[in-house]
Structure 1
C-alpha cells in the first residue's frame, strides 16, 4: 500500500545527516528540476526583503525573518522528512515510538508533498526550511511545477498498489491520482472536523504502520482507535471512508 501525506508548517531543527545531495531524495534523475525550485527559494532569501519574506514565511518578527533568511538550505545538515515535520499529524503519529519494522514501512511507503521540495519519501533527507502553505516564489507556483514534472514518476512509484490519500486538500494540487484510491473523512457528532482531522490522519498512519495492510480488505479490517466506520462513499475513482469519532 502507498500512502500520500501532507507536510507541516512547523519543522524540527534536527540534524542527523550531511548536506542535501542528489541521493538524499527520491527520483534522483529529477534532481535538476528540484534545483530550479530550491535555487529560486534561496535567491528570495538572499534579497532580505522583509515584506516579501514576511509573506513567504508567514511570520512578522523582523529578527526571526532575518535569522531564517540567513540560512542556506544547500549548506544545512539534514534529517529524515518524517522527523523534520512536527505539526499535529506528526505529534499523533509519534514516529520515534514505533518499532523499527514500522519505521521501515513508513519510510518506504509514505510520500509527503512538500511545498518546497515536492514529493518526498518519508525517509528522504531534507534540511530545515520555512515556506508558508500556498505561497508562491515571487509568482512561481511550486505545486504546478511539481505536478507537471513529477506526476509520471509518482505514477511509476505507485504502480499497481492500493493507494490511501491522507493529504489535506491543498496538496492535491501537486499530484492527481489516475487510478482508484481511498480517502478518509472524520465526523464529530455528525459534523466534519477540519483542523483536528490532522490528528486523526496521524493516528491512522500510526496504526497502518503497525498493521501494514497490503490492500483495501486488510485496511478495512483495522479497528482504528476511537473511530467507527459510518459509511463508504464512492465517486469516480475515489472511495471515501467516513469515520465517526467515538472518543
Structure 2
C-alpha cells in the first residue's frame, strides 16, 4: 500500500543530516528531474523580486527565498519530520512506536513540487515551492512532473490511497487510486465540504493506516482500519471514500 500525502507550505527548521544528496533519495528514476527543478529554484533565488513574484510570496517573506538560496548546503531531516501543519500534527509521527514508524516510512509518501515524491526516510532540506508555481526555463511544475511521476505511480500494482490536494494531484494522476474527501454533517443531516480542517482528518486516517500491523490491501481493509480508529467512513464509489464529521 502507498498513501500519498500532500506537502505543507510550512516546513520545520534545521535538521541533523548532511546536505541534500539527490542520488540518495528513493525512486532514482526521478533524479534527473529533481536535479533540474532544484537547480532552477536555487538559480531563481538569486533574484529576490522575481522569486517573490513567481512563488506568490509577499515582500515580508524573503526568508523563504533565503531558504531556497541555501537549499544545497542546508541540513536535512527525514521527510515525514520536515513537513508541518494541520495534517502532520494529526499524523504525529514522533509519537509512533519504532515498528509503527517503520511502517509509516514504508507506506507513506509526500507529493512534492520540488522532489516529485518524498518517502519517509528521504532526507530533505527546508524549501519553498508549490505545485501551482512555474520556474524560469522549466515552465509549470505540472508540465515538468507529470511525464515522469505519473508513469511511476500508475505502474504500482498495490493499493494507492491518494490524500493529496488538487494542485498536487495534477502533478501526477493515479486513476485507480482510492481518494478521500471530508464532509461535515449537521444534526438534520445536511452535509457540506470541509476545507482547511479536512487535513486533520486525513492526517488521522494516514496515521491509522501507518499503525495497523496488517497492511491494508483493498478498499474494505481501509474502511475497517478507519472505523477501528474512530473515523466515520462511507464508501461513495468504487474509488472514493468520505469521512463524515459532525458540524461544529
TM-score normalized by the length of structure 1: 0.87
Matches of 2:10 and 2:133, distance apart in 1: 15
Alpha-carbon distance, 1:205 to partner = 0.7
- Please give the residue correspondences for 1:37-186 in structure 2 after superposition, counting only pairs within 5 Å: 37-48=37-48, 50-56=49-55, 58-61=57-60, 64=63, 67-68=66-67, 71-138=69-136, 140-156=139-155, 158=156, 160-178=157-175, 180-186=176-182
Distance 2:241 2:101 in 1: 25
Aligned 8 A contact 2:30 2:116 in 1: no
Give the C-alpha shift of residue 132 in structure 1: 4.0
Maintained 8 Å contact 1:54/1:65: no
**Residues 27-76 of structure 1, C-alpha deviations (whole Å, 9 max, x = no match):** 2243122111111111100123x25424416232165356445x321111
1:225 is displaced (CA, Å) by 4.6
What corresponds to 1:209 in structure 2? Answer: 210
Cα drift, residue 104 of structure 1: 1.2
Supply the distance in 2 between the matched residues of 1:44 and 1:94 (Cα, whole angstroms): 33
Distance 1:191 1:40, change over 3 A: same
Asked if 1:197 corresponds to 2:195, the answer is no
Would the alpha carbon gap of residues 99 and 31 (structure 1) be closer, same or farther in structure 2, given more than 3 Å must change?
same
The answer to which of 119-128 and 35-44 deviates more is: 119-128
Distance 1:62 1:205 in 2: 31
Deviations 1:165-213 (A, max 9, x none): 11111111111114x3312121112111011111111111111111143
Of 53-62 and 124-133, the range deviating more from structure 2: 53-62
Aligned-partner SS, 1:221: helix
Structure 1 window deviating more from structure 2 (122-131 vs 51-60): it is 51-60
Distance 1:65 1:125, change over 3 A: closer
Aligned CA-pair RMSD: 2.2
CA separation of 1:228 and 1:200: change in aligned 2, threshold 3 A: same
Corresponding residue SS for 2:23: helix
Cα distance in structure 2, aligned partners of 1:208 and 1:183: 14
Would the alpha carbon gap of residues 153 and 130 (structure 1) be closer, same or farther in structure 2, given more than 3 Å must change? same
Question: Which residue in the other structure is 1:4 paired with?
Answer: 4
Compute the TM-score of the two structures, normalised by the length of structure 2: 0.87
